[in-house]
Structure 1
Amino acid sequence: MRRRLLSSTLLVAVIGVLLLGIPLGVAVNRLIEEEATQELSSQAKSLLGEVEYARIQDQPIDPEQLKRKYPDRYIQIYAKGTPPQVTTVGDEPPENHKMTQDAQSENGVYVAVSRDKTEVEREVRAWLLLILALAAAALAVAVGLAIVQSRRLTLPLSDLAMIAERLGSGDARPSKHRYGIQELDRVAEVLDRSATRISDLLAREREFATDASHQLRTPLTGLTMRLEEIVAAAHEPGIVKEEGEAAIVQAERLTAVIDELLAAARRQRHAQTEVVELDDLLDQQFIEWGPVFRRGGRQLKLSGTRGLQAVGTSGGISQVISTLLENSLEHGDGTVTVTTSDKDRSVLVEVADEGEGIPEDLAPRVFERNVSGAGGTGLGLTLARALAAADGGRLELVRPRPAAFALFLRQVGDPGRKRVVSGPA
């Protein structure tokens, strides 16, 4: 591309120089010749006047004086009389290089002034050489400008090609390069926007993979516990049936979690809330987590108001409570108490334990992504708060020591019960 730009610019410059230089050379040649002719004509008329004045004054013509006054000129003077007077001054130039202008009066005086044309040709050649030098300088400037312009155009294009190749290889960093050329800057802006979108897509995919691994761990743990209970109670048919049904419930919950995570990854989760019976939901959670707490020598306790209803999604509320119970099991201590109440136009589900709680410096950031004070993933509470917000509720840390989390849900009859929400952030 650079070679094509150079050749095309040079061609345009040559054509421009030829279109301007040739007419200029012809015009300069004619102008110099016309100036020389007009000078000879003016000298001939002036000399004719001097000769006429000398004849009126009856003074002779002095050739030496004329030679000094008109140097490098060949002068011929003819005057009528008896006999006629003929006067010549200077050396006659060669016939093929001779320029002559004459003048004649009514009294019979004829004057001719000639000069050597070689001097005029020399002056013409000097001007033509100057024009050629200017043309060569113009071509050199054109080549220089073409080189600069070609570098200005080709280097940004090469840079944009490298950026596009980098995007194709997965490096989605915006370049922020601008080149001072409107069209190239627009292409660079489009590539930067594409890089930002690709970066967001990659980040969402990574977050989805991380969130999926975290959210699927709890249902899989519950399913594993149910299967272990089945194996342990294989000699008791009634217990096997009960534990098998619980395992099916865990599998169904696992499927629901996968569906919600996939929808959240595509940003197309439009969950419409419904009336949820908290007693049924909490009973199911106690069935799932009760054996785990018993094996750990800890107690799981339910207290508060029964028969409460809230507006939300069963899957979302179950995941939030399951996350809180798992955190209490792993990071807390003592009895875990789940308390339900109904106040301030909200249905409250509080999960508290008797452990050391959350450090003061960590408490304000406990819901931030990747923040964990006990070697965890730092994702559970972040996702739980996002799920609570998706159902129109909120999840708060109401007491850091010992830790107590409260899930605020909307009451039945809340005006926003049919709100359409997006997936977890």
Structure 2
Amino acid sequence: MRRRLIQSTLAVVLVVIAVFGVSLVIVETRTITESARERVESEAVRLASIVDSRLIVEDQVTAEILSNQVTEDRYAVIRIPGKPPIEVGTEPDGDVISASAPGEEGETVTVQEPRSSVTREVGRTLLIIGLVALLAVIAAVLLAIRQANRLASPLTDLAETAERLGSGDPRPRHRRYGVPELDRVADVLDRSAERIARMLTAERRLAADASHQLRTPLTALSMRLEEITLTDDPDTVKEEATIALTQVERLTDVVERLLTNSRDPRTGSAVTFDLDDVIQQQLAEWRPAYRSAGRAIVTSGKRHLRAVGTPGAVAQVLAALIENSLMHGGGTVALRTRVTGNQVVVEVTDEGPGIPADLGSRIFERAISGHNSTGIGLAVARDLAEADGGRLEMLQAKPAVFGLFLSRTPPDRAREDEGRQTVR
């Protein structure tokens, strides 16, 4: 492209120079020739008037007297009736420009100038025109190179940006080039890069959340199926199968919630539910794992509490906290329920070493973990809690105490209370 721009600009300049240059050469040549002819004619008239003035006073007319009146490169012949011709200067060879002027005393003055002087003057003019044309061509080439670089380099840069987007690197470059059209293309590419980055982030987040949230129900389901394969008691098989079906329903709820959050992570489906049912479900699911680890999981606090939220989401939050205690904590894990103001609080604590001081303020950030785990469990749990209007907080670092805060007021009534307070 750079070469084409330079060639096209140079071609335009050469055409302009050819058209106007040839016309200028023709005009200047004619002008110089006419000017030389007028000078010769003027010279002849002037000499004729000088000869007339001398003849009137009957003075002598000689070549020596008139030599100072004739330009050095010109030749003059004065013909006076009854006298021999008087020659002034050297007669030129070759083609000449000649002019004659008659005098009042009957004499005739002829002045000649070699055409070579005109040719030299025309040559000088052509040289000047040629130098100007050369300077114009050089200036045009430099300007074309500058413009070509100004246009070609941004286009190459934009092509590289588009190629990076296609290869999976969605980082915007935020480069502008001072050309409105190219800057508009750069804006579009940057916005596309930002959209692609958000989409890739959402996909990666969905994959990470899915792998993390599906792991616990799948583990519990596999444990129930193992219990079924190891017993011959029909009642035990029936009980374990019922629990396995519950796990399948939970898996379905997790998948649906993941898909919903991938579209809008702030979308919740809060309802009023019995908190004891969710807690007992979690105890039943996790007791075998804790029993295998030689540890216990217990519950205490107020009973028969009702909270507002999505039961499946609350179960996933509690499962994430219980699993963290199993993997990173120690001793007995306790789930305590209490009421504070208009909120129900579920505290999950254990007897382990707690959370390191350097991780305390960042414990809910993604990819932050002190035990080489995925580091997304608590981040996902907090998102799930906030999606239904609740919140998840770390209440104490050593030993670790996490609190899940849920509202006790249904969403419609809470909005009515807020409106009533606003009116007041």
The TM-score, its normalising length taken from structure 2, stands at 0.88
Q: Is the 8 A contact 1:44 1:101 kept in 2?
A: yes
Runs (4 or more) in structure 1 with deviation over 6 Å come to: none
Task: Give a deviation string over 1:308-363, Cα, whole Å, max 9, x none.
Answer: 22221111111111111111222222222222222222121111222222222222
**Residue 355 of structure 2 aligns to which amino acid in structure 1?**
I
Q: Is the 8 A contact 1:398 1:405 kept in 2?
A: yes
Q: Which residue of 2 aligns with 1:222?
A: 220
**Residue 73 of structure 2 aligns to which amino acid in structure 1?**
D
Q: Is the 8 A contact 2:272 2:410 kept in 1?
A: no
Pairwise mapping of residues 271-350 of structure 1 onto structure 2 (< 5 A)? 271-350=268-347
Which deviates the most, 34-43 or 396-405? Answer: 34-43
**Residue 101 of structure 1 aligns to which amino acid in structure 2?**
A
In 1, the alpha carbon distance for the partners of 2:127 and 2:209 equals 81
Q: Which residue of 2 aligns with 1:423?
A: none
Which deviates the most, 375-384 or 295-304? Answer: 295-304
Unmatched segments (≥5 aa) in structure 2: 416-424
- Counterpart secondary structure, 2:375: coil
In 2, the alpha carbon distance for the partners of 1:254 and 1:140 equals 76
- Counterpart secondary structure, 2:357: coil
Q: Which residue of 1 aligns with 2:422?
A: none
Which deviates the most, 36-45 or 83-92? Answer: 83-92
**Residue 404 of structure 1 aligns to which amino acid in structure 2?**
V
Which deviates the most, 315-324 or 266-275? Answer: 266-275
In 2, the alpha carbon distance for the partners of 1:21 and 1:119 equals 22
Q: Is the 8 A contact 1:78 1:86 kept in 2?
A: yes
CA shift at 1:140, angstroms?
4.3
Q: 2:258 aligns with which of 232, 256, 261?
A: 261
Q: Which residue of 1 aligns with 2:78?
A: 77
Task: Give a deviation string over 1:157-210, Cα, whole Å, max 9, x none.
Answer: 344333333322223333444444433333333333323332332232222222
**Residue 13 of structure 2 aligns to which amino acid in structure 1?**
A
Change (3 A) 1:151 1:363: closer
Unmatched segments (≥5 aa) in structure 1: 419-425
Which deviates the most, 172-181 or 404-413? Answer: 172-181
- Counterpart secondary structure, 1:378: coil
In 1, the alpha carbon distance for the partners of 2:368 and 2:4 equals 58
**Residue 226 of structure 2 aligns to which amino acid in structure 1?**
E
In 1, the alpha carbon distance for the partners of 2:364 and 2:354 equals 15
Change (3 A) 1:268 1:363: closer
CA shift at 1:252, angstroms?
1.0
Q: Is the 8 A contact 2:330 2:350 kept in 1?
A: yes
**Residue 19 of structure 1 aligns to which amino acid in structure 2?**
V
**Residue 331 of structure 1 aligns to which amino acid in structure 2?**
H
Pairwise mapping of residues 21-420 of structure 1 onto structure 2 (< 5 A)? 21-70=21-70, 71-79=72-80, 83=82, 87-93=86-92, 97-106=95-104, 108-232=106-230, 234-267=231-264, 270-413=267-410
In 2, the alpha carbon distance for the partners of 1:416 and 1:150 equals 68
Change (3 A) 1:134 1:187: same
In 2, the alpha carbon distance for the partners of 1:257 and 1:36 equals 104
**Residue 261 of structure 2 aligns to which amino acid in structure 1?**
A
Q: Is the 8 A contact 1:274 1:417 kept in 2?
A: no
In 2, the alpha carbon distance for the partners of 1:351 and 1:320 equals 11
Change (3 A) 1:282 1:39: same
In 1, the alpha carbon distance for the partners of 2:314 and 2:254 equals 12
Q: Is the 8 A contact 1:354 1:402 kept in 2?
A: yes
CA shift at 1:2, angstroms?
4.1
**Residue 48 of structure 1 aligns to which amino acid in structure 2?**
A
Q: Which residue of 1 aligns with 2:420?
A: none
Which deviates the most, 52-61 or 132-141? Answer: 132-141
- Counterpart secondary structure, 2:289: helix
Q: Which residue of 2 aligns with 1:421?
A: none
CA shift at 1:369, angstroms?
1.2
In 2, the alpha carbon distance for the partners of 1:291 and 1:134 equals 97
Q: Is the 8 A contact 1:324 1:351 kept in 2?
A: yes
Task: Give a deviation string over 1:45-91, Cα, whole Å, max 9, x none.
Answer: 322332233234332123113223312322233456xx478533234
CA RMSD, aligned part only? 2.7
Q: Percent identity?
A: 47
Q: Is the 8 A contact 2:265 2:387 kept in 1?
A: no
Q: Which residue of 1 aligns with 2:421?
A: none
How many pairs were matched up? 415
